[in-house]
Structure 1
C-alpha cells in the first residue's frame, strides 16, 4: 500500500511540476506575438484492483493544449486580408485623387486658360501679342498633359511595380518558412510523448499564416499529420506539406512595364503560368485591383481628353485661315502621326514574329479609353473583341491582304472611332495583339505651331447656300483633306465668275448624294458619285469633308463656293481682321466633344476626378469597416487565447499547493515504509 501511496504522490508531483512549468511558460510569453495560452490537461490513472475494489493510483498529464479556436483564427486572418486589400487600394487611390484634383497639377486650369487666350484673339485677331498668349497657353496645356502622364505612369504605376516585387518576395519568404515548420511539426508529432502537440511550433506557423494573409488571402487545409496545405484563389497551391511553391514576378504578355505574378504549374517547370487574376485579398490583391481599375483607366482617360483636345484644335485650324490668308495648319502634333499610330498596338510576347499595326483615330468623340484584343483565329481571320469578349470586327484573309502592304487599306473597327491597317504583316494563327488607342495620348500631345501669324482665326472663306432645303439642314465644313485635288473648290480651280463652284445634290430618298459643277453637270466619275450618305452624315467631297446636321427630306441642293485662293475676296468677311474661326474655337469650351457627345473637355476631366474620388472614398469605407471587424475578431481571439496574468498567478498558487501536497504524500509514504521496516526487525 505504501508503494501505491508513493506512486500516487510521485504522479501528483510530476503533474504539478508540469503545471508550474506551463504556467511559467505562459507568463514568460505574455507579450509574445502569436502565442496561444497553454493548459495542462490531467486525467486520473487507472485504479489498482484490491479486495474487490479499485484503489486510486494517482494522475497523469494527458496533454498540454493550446487555447485555440479555429473559427476565431479563421475570422481574424480573413478580416486581416480584406483590411489590407482595401487599405492598399485606399492609400494608392488617395495619392492619385490628390494629384488629379489639385488645381496646380490637374488639367482643368490649363484648359480654361487656353480658352481665355482664344477669347483674347477674338477681340482683335490682328494683335500678335494675343496670338502669342494663345500659343503659350497651348504649350502650357500640352506640357501639363505630359507631366500628368509622367507622374501617374512613372510615380504611381512605378510605385505599384516596386510594391509588387517587395510583396511577392515577402510571400515567398513566408511560405518557405511555413513549409519548414510543417516539416518540424510533423517530426515533433511523430516522436512526442503520448502524442503531445508541438504547441510552440504551431503558434509560429499560425503567426506566419496570419502574416501571409496580410499579403494575400489564403485557404487552409489541415492534414492528419498536423501539417497544413495553403491555397489561393481557385485552388492554386502555395504550400503543400514541406514544399513551398514560389511565386515569380513576370512581365505582362503585351506591356513589359506592367508586372504580373507567375507560378510554375508543376515543380521545376521553366514556363510560368500567370496567376495574377487568382490572387484575391491582401495587399497584393489590392495592388493589382487599384492598377487595373483606377490607375490604368486614369491614364487612358487622360489620353482620351488630350487626343480630343488636340484633334479639335487641329481640325478647326484646318478649317480657318491665318494672317497670310492661307489654310490653317496643325496647332498640335497630328493625333495620327505615323509613328504614334504604330505605338497604339502591342504584340504579345508569345507571337513567334512581330507584326506592326497602324491605328488611326477617325472620331475622337467615340473614344472610350477601352483596350481591345486582336487575335488570329484558326481560320486565319483577325478578330477584334472588347474586354467583355464581345466581337467588334472580324477581318477575313482577304481583308488582311487589303490592309497589308502594298495597298494598306484602312478598315474601320465599328463604333470605336478607330481604323487600322498593317504596316508589317507576319501574322500567324494564334497571334495576339492589344490595341490601346488612348494610353499614350497625354504623353504624345505636343504643340507644333510656332508662328503666331499662322493661328487660323479667320473663317475658311467657304460659302454654303441651299436653294432647296425644306428641313433647313445645315451643311458645314468638317475637314480639309487635300487642297491639291483638281476639283477642290477654290478660285484657282474654278475661276470667277463661277458661283457656285460645285453643288451637292441629294437624291429623292435622302440616302445618296452627287457632286455637280456650277452648270449642274456631274463631276467626272468617280468624283461625282452618287455616294451613300453615312450614318454620321459626314460626306466626302474633293479635298474636303462636309457635315450634314439635320434630317434630310430628299432632293436638297447645296451650293458651295470658296472665296479664298489667289483671287481677291471679301476682306471684311475673310480677311486678317476676321475672327469667325476663333469664335468657333472658343465654342469648344462648352461643346460636348467627348464621350459620345456628352461631355466637354472640362466635364470629361471632372468625371475622371469624380470617378477616382468615389473609388477612394469607397475604398476608405471598406477599409474602415474591415478595421472594425478585424479589431473585434482579434479581441474575441485574445479572450480565448491570450494570457491573463491574474489567472496565471492564481494557477501558480494552485500548482504550488498541489506540488507541496504531493511532496507531503511522498513524505508520508516514506515514513510509513520506515515504520514497516522497524516493525519487522
Structure 2
C-alpha cells in the first residue's frame, strides 16, 4: 500500500518540479542571457519481491541548463567586433560633416581666395578688390581654425568616452569576480547554480561590448577572463584597467596587476567599443588632423612665398598674406632621462608628408626617426637631419640612449592659420620687374605676363632678349649666363634670375624684349604678382598634385575612411545578429515548446494525483473492513 502511495507522491513531486521549471522558462523568455532549463528525471531503484523488482517511482536528479559554450563564445566575439566597428563609425559622424563640398567647404574658400586676385589683376588700384582678398583670406583662416577646433573637440570627447568605458570594464570585472566566488561556493553543494551562471554570461556579454575577451573555466566553476594577452579576472581577483599613453603618443588600454602594467593597443584588443575608439583616436583622427594641418602649412607657405615676392600699392615688399605657422618642438616621453629639445622646420613644402614623427636616441648617440603614418624608419648620425621636407634640429640639451621624442608638425597647424596683413594697400599685386618689347620690333611679339617666382640676387637686374632668324633668342645681362640660341615656344614661360616671362606672338630677326626693375609708376599699375597668385592653384605641391586638388584629396581620404567604417559596422552587425540568433535558438526559450510541455506535465501531475487518490481510497477501504 505504501509503495503505491510513495510512487504517486514521487511522480507528483517530479512533475511539480517540471511544471515549476517550465513556468520559470516562460517567465524568463525575454530575459537577456537566460538559458532554458529542464528537469532531468530518473527512475528510483526498485524493491525486490517474489515476482521481481517493484518500481518505486521517479526522482529528480538535476535541473539541466541548455548551454552551448561554442555558440556563446562565437556570439560574444561577433558582438565585440560589431561594437568596435560601430564605435569607430559613430566617431566619424562627428567629423565627417566638417569636410563639405560646394560653397560651404574648405576647398571653396581656398578657390575663392585665389580667384579674388582676378579682380585685383583687372583693377590693381581698386582698394575694394584688395579688401576682398583680405576678406577671403580671413574666411579661409576661420574655416581652418574652426575645423581644427572641432577635431580637437572630437578627440576630447573620444577620450572621455574611453574613460567611461574603462569605468564600466572595471565594474563588470569586479562583478564577475564576485559571481565567481558565489559559483565556487554553490558548486560545492553538488549542483550547478544555473541562475548565477546565466548572470555571469550576461556580464561577460556586456564586457565584450566594451572589450573583446577570452575565457577559461576552472574545475571549481570559476571563469578566468583575458583581454588581449592579459588576465582581467582570475577567480575572484581582478586587475585594474586605465587609459594610458605610450612614448610615441599613442593612446592605449593599460591593465595593471600589482606593479606590472601591460599596454594594449586596438590591434591587440581585437574588438569591443574601446578598440574602435582607440583605432579612431590613434589612426583615423591623427591622419585627418595631419592631412588638414599639412594642407594649411602648404597653402599658407605657398601663398606667402609668392605674395612676399610682390609689391604693395604703396611700394611695400616682403609682406606675407598669412601669418607664419610655427613648427612645434618635440614632446618627450615620460620615461626619458635626457633633456633634449628637438625642433622642426619646413625645408621643402612640396615634399611634406602628413604624419607625426618619433625620434629615438640610439646607444651610439645617433638618431632613428620613425614616420608614424607608415612606421618607415630612417637613421641619422647627427642633427640637423632632413626628412620629408622637414629639418629636425637639436635646439638644446642632450638625449640619453633610449629616449623618445614625439614631433607632430601638423597636429594643430590648421588652428594657427591667421591673416598677416592689416591693410588692403599692402596686398602685393604688382611684380617687382617689368618687361617691354623693343620699339623697333617688326614681329608680333607681346608680353603676356611677367612676375617674380623666387628670390634672386639679380631679380631686378636688366636682361635683354634678342631674337634670331631661326626663332631662337640670345639673352644678355647679369645672372643670365649670356646664353645664345635658346628655343622659344609661344606661351611657354622663360625663367631667369627668379622671374618668369611669358610672350605671345612670333618674332622677327632682331626683335628685342627687355626685363628690368619695375618703375614707380608701373608698380601701381601692373598686376603681375596678382596673376601669379591666381596660378598657384596649379602648383604641384601636395603629393605631386596641384594645390587646388589638396582639399579634394583630404575630402576623399576622410570619405574613404568614413565609408569603410560604416560598411564594416553594417557587415559586423549582421554577423553578430546571426551569431546571437544561433545562440538563442540553442539556449533560449521557445514559448510554443514550453506551452506543449506545460500541458504534458499538467496531465502527468493530474495522473500522479489520481494515483495518490486511489491509494488513499484503497487504504480507507482496508481500514473499514478491519472495523
Q: TM-score, structure 2 length as denominator?
A: 0.84
CA distance in structure 2 between the partners assigned to 1:355 and 1:646 by the alignment: 74
Distance 2:334 2:145 in 1: 28
Match of 2:231 among 224, 227, 237: 237
Question: Does the 8 Å contact 1:328/1:455 carry over to 2?
Answer: no
Matched, 1:100 2:99: yes
Aligned counterpart for 2:547 among listed residues 600, 624, 629: 600
1:38 is aligned to 37
Determine helix, strand or coil for the equivalent of 2:542.
coil
Contact map agreement 2:432 2:451 (CA 8 A) in 1: no
The 8 Å contact of residues 459 and 499 in structure 2, kept in 1 or not, is answered as: no
Measure how far apart 1:621 and its partner are.
Answer: 2.2
The answer to whether 1:435 aligns with 2:381 is no
* 1:188-221 Cα distance to aligned partner (Å, 9 max, x none): 1111xxx321111111111111111111221122
> Alpha-carbon deviation of 1:385?
2.2
| 1:345 and 2:330 are equivalent in the alignment | yes
Q: Is the 8 A contact 1:247 1:262 kept in 2?
A: yes
Q: Who is 2:455 aligned against?
A: 480
Cα separation, 1, equivalents of 2:39 and 2:91: 48
Partner of 1:454: 426
| Cα pair 1:81 1:283 within 8 Å, conserved | yes
Determine helix, strand or coil for the equivalent of 1:433. Answer: strand
State how 1:412-561 maps to structure 2 within 5 Å: 412-413=386-387, 416-461=388-433, 479-480=454-455, 500-502=477-479
Q: CA RMSD in A?
A: 3.3
Q: 1:261 aligns with which of 253, 272, 278?
A: 253
Query: What is the match of residue 273 of structure 1?
Result: 262
Q: Secondary structure at the match of 1:174?
A: helix
Residues 106/236 of structure 1: CA separation in 2 closer, same or farther (3 Å cut):
farther
2:167 pairs with one of 138, 156, 169: 169
For residues 600-679 of structure 1, the aligned pairs below 5 Å read: 600-601=547-548, 603-669=549-615
Q: Distance in 1 between matches of 2:85 and 2:246?
A: 24
> Out of 522, 531, 535, which is 1:583 matched to?
531
Mapped contact 2:45–2:55 kept (Cα < 8 A):
yes
Q: Is the 8 A contact 1:369 1:436 kept in 2?
A: no
Q: CA deviation at 1:490?
A: 6.0
8 A Cα contact 1:322 1:328, kept in partner: no
**CA pair 160-57 structure 1, distance change in 2 beyond 3 A:** same
Mapped to 2, the partners of 1:591 and 1:657 lie a distance apart of: 89
Does residue 129 of structure 2 align to residue 130 of structure 1? yes
Distance (Å, rounded) in 1 between the aligned partners of 2:392 and 2:481 = 30
Residue number in structure 2 paired with 1:149: 148
For residues 47 and 140 of structure 1, do their structure 2 counterparts lie closer, same or farther at Cα, with a shift above 3 Å needed? same
Shift of 1:672: 5.5
Verify the 8 A CA contact 1:105 1:144 in the aligned structure 2.
no
Question: Which whole-Å CA distance do the structure 1 matches of 2:376 and 2:244 have between them?
Answer: 28
Identify unmatched segments of 5+ residues in structure 2: 437-449, 463-475, 484-494, 501-513
Instruction: Determine the C-alpha separation between the residues in 2 that align with 1:104 and 1:356.
Output: 43
Question: CA offset at residue 618 of structure 1?
Answer: 2.3
Structure 1 regions of 5+ residues with no counterpart? Answer: 401-409, 465-474, 482-486, 493-498, 507-538, 548-560
Of 337, 342, 349, which residue of structure 2 is paired with 1:364?
349
Partner of 1:403 in structure 2? Answer: none
Deviation at 1:480, TM superposition (A): 3.1
TM-score, normalising length: structure 1: 0.78
Change (3 A) 1:77 1:639: same
The answer for the alignment partner of 1:82 in structure 2 is: 81
Distance in structure 1 (CA, Å) of the matches to 2:596 and 2:435: 103
* Deviation per residue, 1:218-246 (Å, 9 max, x gap): 1122222222112122x221221212222
The separation in 1 between residues aligned to 2:69 and 2:26, in whole angstroms, is: 23
Instruction: Name 2:440's counterpart in structure 1.
Output: none
On the 8 A contact 2:290/2:411 being kept in 1, the answer is: yes
Once the two structures are TM-superposed, the CA of residue 251 in structure 1 deviates from its matched residue by 4.3
Determine which of 218, 221, 224 is the counterpart of 2:219: 224
Question: Within the alignment, does 1:206 sit opposite 2:201 as a pair?
Answer: yes
Paired with 1:613 and 1:38, the residues of 2 have a C-alpha distance of 49
Mapping for residues 256-335 of structure 1, pairs under 5 Å: 259-264=251-256, 267-269=257-259, 272-277=261-266, 278-335=268-325
Q: Secondary structure at the match of 2:354?
A: coil
Task: Give me the whole-angstrom Cα distance separating, in 2, the residues matched to 1:358 and 1:635.
Answer: 57
* Deviation string, structure 1 residues 282-314 (Cα, Å, up to 9, x no partner): 211111122233222111111111111111111
Asked if the contact 1:501/1:562 (under 8 Å) is kept, the reply is no
Question: What per-residue deviation string (whole Å, max 9, x for no partner) do you get for residues 572-596 of structure 1?
Answer: 7x5321111111110012332211x
Superposed CA offset, 1:11-42 (max 9, x none): 22221221122122222223322222210011
Task: Report the number of matched residues.
Answer: 578
* Cα displacement (A) at 1:328: 2.7
SS for the counterpart of 1:328 is coil
Contact 1:79 1:626 in 2 (8 A): yes
Distance 1:115 1:490, change over 3 A: closer
CA contact (8 A) 1:117 1:137 kept: yes
Cα displacement (A) at 1:376? 0.7
The aligned residue for residue 470 of structure 2 is: none
Q: Secondary structure at the match of 2:9?
A: helix
SS at match of 1:73: helix
Question: C-alpha separation between the residues in 2 aligned to 1:307 and 1:455?
Answer: 20
